[in-house]
């Protein structure tokens, strides 16, 4: 699936959000995937659960470690990607497309103000890298 | 002299290879170079190269070297021949494990026995304290060379071919659990057929200044055989599949060899006294311990991790000490201690508490993986 990257918003904790009609599609970024390595298990919340912005909504297990994922907005989970629960490797292959995690409704667009467009995010990562070195 | 703390002599090599570094036992070690799964399978199918320079090398020599060591470990070393090695445990007065180590008997010098102990990086100090505590009564030299020596491991089914490509013919290679002093590509080395992955392979001890050259040489000459550098994330999944315990997680000063299911590293008929002997032998004969190390696999897709709780019949019954995802079995696996109040055996169903939910698992036979 080809994704229009200009519509991808990213967080500093490496989740992304894509607005699709009334819902927000949330997943983890390619950078997160690179850090995690091979993903082997995904734990997602039940449909209908509500979360506040910044709350843990799921866990991604890679061969290496377990990592929590944070919801970029306050809202209600209206759909989870059951396909990635059965085949977590899809996230490694296509994180922005088939490898999305949850869809959120009833969210406030203002919550997305602190996020970065994908190219800004890339720039942010480069700067982070320099600081680490 | 490059002190053994912080960075190994191979640090720059790891950076050049693009490794992601992390802190391990006070050392900056490579976590991974490419993908953990790929590195893991490289070791299972071909050969992997590891920097294990953080580990400690302690040489024991002198007239009483054998008697001295016999006082410290539950395994009988009297039958250990020159050039052979034994996995062993350093135990305290309560039978608790101070460290797990490999004891190599080196060629004798001037009619006295000489041993090399390869110990865990995190335990060098405790080990030396223990050795010094017992030194008084013996004519023995304890020589900690950890600061001067580096160690490189080649592990995997193609290891013998890799060594051959470096000029060490198969006939000249040490046999399993043996050690040789030799020359490799002009470098003076000690080469042992031991490892921590469950595969065939070698551990090569070399002077610090020779380590980068030897590392590069192994990668170059082994390239056509598929050798790749392997980081500590894969080292952990490899040793877990092979059910090899990790000190600090699966073994501590509070665990005895019997609890840790390491009775095979205790010589039941050993005549010599050693600290903790009475407790260990008593536990062995009565088979009475409060907890026991078990291996288990998950029955769903979840992954157990260090410190998760183990449940039996909905009651907390122990703790996971090592856990992870097994790339060879494609399932979450783990080692943990379970209390022995209720009977259990291979096939017993247990549960692991993962983020507030119980996930089904089953006690299974160790190791999880054995090489063909």
Distance from CA of A20 to the nearest CA of B (A): 30
pLDDT of residue B153: 98
* A65 part of contact set with chain B, CB < 8 Å: yes
Residue-range domains of chain A with CATH: 11-132 (2.40.50.100)
Work out the pLDDT band at A132, boundaries 50, 70, 90: low
pLDDT of residue B336: 98
Q: Which of A39, A40, A43 to mutate to test the interface with B (most CBs of B within 10 A)?
A: A40
pLDDT at B247 over 90: yes
* A84 part of contact set with chain B, CB < 8 Å: no
What value does the mean pLDDT take over residues A107-133? 87
Closest CA to A111 of A51, A36, A67: A51
Determine phi and psi for B290, rounding to 5 degrees: -75, -30
Query: What is the distance, to the nearest Å, from the Cα of residue B44 to the centroid of all Cα atoms in its chain?
Result: 17
Three-class secondary structure of residue B93 per DSSP: coil
Distance from CA of B324 to the nearest CA of A (A): 7
Number of other residues whose CB lies within 10 A of the CB of residue B276: 21
Q: Give the pair of three-digit tokens for residue A117.
A: 């467009």
Which residues from B are below 8 Å from A55, CB to CB?
A: none
Which residues from A are below 8 Å from B305, CB to CB?
A: 65-66
Rounded CA-CA distance B98/B56 in Å is 14
Helix (H) or strand (E) holding A91: helix A89-93
User: B172-181 long-range contacts, Cβ below 8 Å, gap at least 24?
Assistant: B173/B202, B174/B83, B174/B202, B176/B200, B177/B84, B177/B85, B177/B86, B178/B83, B178/B84, B178/B85, B179/B83, B179/B84, B179/B85, B179/B104, B179/B106, B179/B116, B180/B83, B181/B106, B181/B107
Rounded CA-CA distance B61/B68 in Å is 10
ipTM metric = 0.79
Closest CA to B115 of B125, B129, B101: B101
Residue-range domains of chain B with CATH: 11-55+148-241 (3.30.1360.120), 56-129 (3.30.70.1400)
Give the C-alpha distances (Å, rounded to integers) separating B336 from B106, B128, B167, B319, B333: 35, 28, 43, 5, 10
Strand duo B141-144 + B56-61: pairing: antiparallel
Rounded CA-CA distance B367/A44 in Å is 32
pLDDT at B271 over 90: yes
What value does the mean pLDDT take over residues A98-115? 95
CB contact under 8 A, B36 and A63: yes
Q: Which residues of B touch A (CB under 8 A)?
A: 31-32, 35-37, 40, 233, 237, 301-303, 305, 324-325, 327, 332, 355
What percentage of chain B has pLDDT greater than the value 70?
98
Total CB pairs under 8 A between chain A and B: 43
Three-class secondary structure of residue B369 per DSSP: coil
Distance from CA of A22 to the nearest CA of B (A): 31
Determine phi and psi for B150, rounding to 5 degrees: -115, 165
User: Cβ distance B76 to B26 under 8 Å?
Assistant: no
Q: What angle do CA A86, A92, A98 make, to 5 degrees?
A: 65
What percentage of chain B has pLDDT greater than the value 90?
92
Which chain B residue has the Cα nearest residue A68?
B355
Half-sphere exposure of B357 (CA within 13 A, CB side): 9
Number of other residues whose CB lies within 10 A of the CB of residue B67: 17
pLDDT at B111 over 80: no
Rounded CA-CA distance B88/B101 in Å is 5
Which residues from A are below 8 Å from B35, CB to CB?
A: 37-38
Rounded CA-CA distance B354/B27 in Å is 30
Closest Cβ opposite residue B325 in set A43, A59, A63: A63
pLDDT of residue B115: 97
Rounded CA-CA distance B280/B248 in Å is 20
Q: Give residue for tokens 């013996």.
A: B138
User: Cβ distance B309 to B319 under 8 Å?
Assistant: yes
pLDDT of residue B212: 98
Distance from CA of A27 to the nearest CA of B (A): 19
The CA radius of gyration of chain A, in Å to the nearest whole number, is 14
CB contact under 8 A, A38 and B35: yes
Which residues from A are below 8 Å from B36, CB to CB?
A: 37-38, 62-64
Q: pLDDT tens digits for B113-170?
A: 899 999 999 999 999 999 999 999 899 999 999 999 999 999 999 999 999 999 999 9
Closest CA to B274 of B123, B74, B104: B74
CB contact under 8 A, A38 and B37: yes
Q: Is the dihedral of CA B325, B327, B330, B334 positive or negative?
A: negative
Closest CA to A79 of A99, A58, A102, A60: A102
What value does the mean pLDDT take over residues B344-360? 96
């Amino acid at each position: 699936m080809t994704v229009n990257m200009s519509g991808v918003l990213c967080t500093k904790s490496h989740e992304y959000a894509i607005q699709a009609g009334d819902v927000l599609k949330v997943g983890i970024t390619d950078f997160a995937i690179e850090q995690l390595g091979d993903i082997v298990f995904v734990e997602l919340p039940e449909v209908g659960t509500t979360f506040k912005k910044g709350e843990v909504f799921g866990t991604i297990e890679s061969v290496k470690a377990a990592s929590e994922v944070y919801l970029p907005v306050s809202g209600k989970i209206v759909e989870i990607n059951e396909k990635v629960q059965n085949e977590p490797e899809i996230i490694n292959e296509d994180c922005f497309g088939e490898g999305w995690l949850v869809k959120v409704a009833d969210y406030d667009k203002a919550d997305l103000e602190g996020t970065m467009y994908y190219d800004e995010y890339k720039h942010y990562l480069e700067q982070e890298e320099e600081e680490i070195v | 002299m490059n002190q053994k703390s912080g960075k190994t002599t191979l640090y720059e090599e790891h950076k050049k290879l693009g490794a992601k570094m992390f802190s391990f036992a006070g050392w900056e070690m490579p976590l991974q170079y490419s993908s953990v799964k790929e590195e893991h399978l490289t070791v299972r199918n071909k050969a992997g190269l590891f920097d294990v320079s953080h580990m400690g090398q302690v040489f024991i020599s002198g007239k009483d070297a054998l008697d001295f060591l016999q006082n410290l470990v539950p395994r009988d070393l009297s039958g250990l021949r020159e050039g052979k090695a034994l996995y062993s445990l350093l135990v305290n007065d309560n039978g608790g494990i101070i460290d797990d180590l490999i004891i190599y008997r080196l060629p004798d010098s001037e009619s006295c026995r000489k041993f090399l102990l390869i110990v865990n990086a995190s335990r060098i100090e405790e080990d030396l304290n223990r050795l010094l505590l017992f030194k008084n009564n013996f004519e023995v030299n304890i020589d900690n060379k950890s600061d001067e020596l580096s160690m490189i491991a080649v592990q995997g089914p193609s290891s013998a071919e890799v060594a051959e490509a470096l000029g060490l013919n198969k006939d000249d290679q040490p046999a399993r659990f043996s050690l040789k002093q030799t020359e490799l590509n002009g470098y003076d080395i000690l080469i042992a057929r031991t490892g921590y992955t469950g595969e065939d392979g070698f551990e090569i001890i070399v002077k610090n200044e020779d380590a980068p050259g030897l590392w590069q040489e192994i990668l170059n000459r082994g390239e056509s055989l598929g050798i790749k550098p392997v980081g500590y994330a894969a080292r952990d999944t490899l040793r877990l599949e092979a059910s090899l315990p990790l000190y600090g997680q699966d073994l501590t000063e509070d665990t005895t060899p019997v609890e840790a299911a390491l009775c095979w590293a205790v010589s039941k008929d050993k005549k010599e006294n050693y600290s903790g002997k009475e407790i260990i032998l008593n536990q062995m004969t009565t088979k009475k311990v409060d907890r026991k190390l078990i291996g288990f696999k998950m029955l769903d897709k979840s992954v157990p991790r260090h410190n998760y709780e183990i449940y039996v019949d909905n009651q907390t019954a122990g703790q996971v000490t090592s856990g992870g995802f097994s790339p060879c079995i494609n399932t979450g696996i783990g080692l943990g201690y379970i209390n022995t109040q209720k009977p259990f055996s291979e096939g017993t169903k247990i549960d692991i508490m993962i983020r507030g939910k119980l996930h089904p698992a089953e006690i299974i036979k160790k190791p999880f993986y054995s090489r063909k």
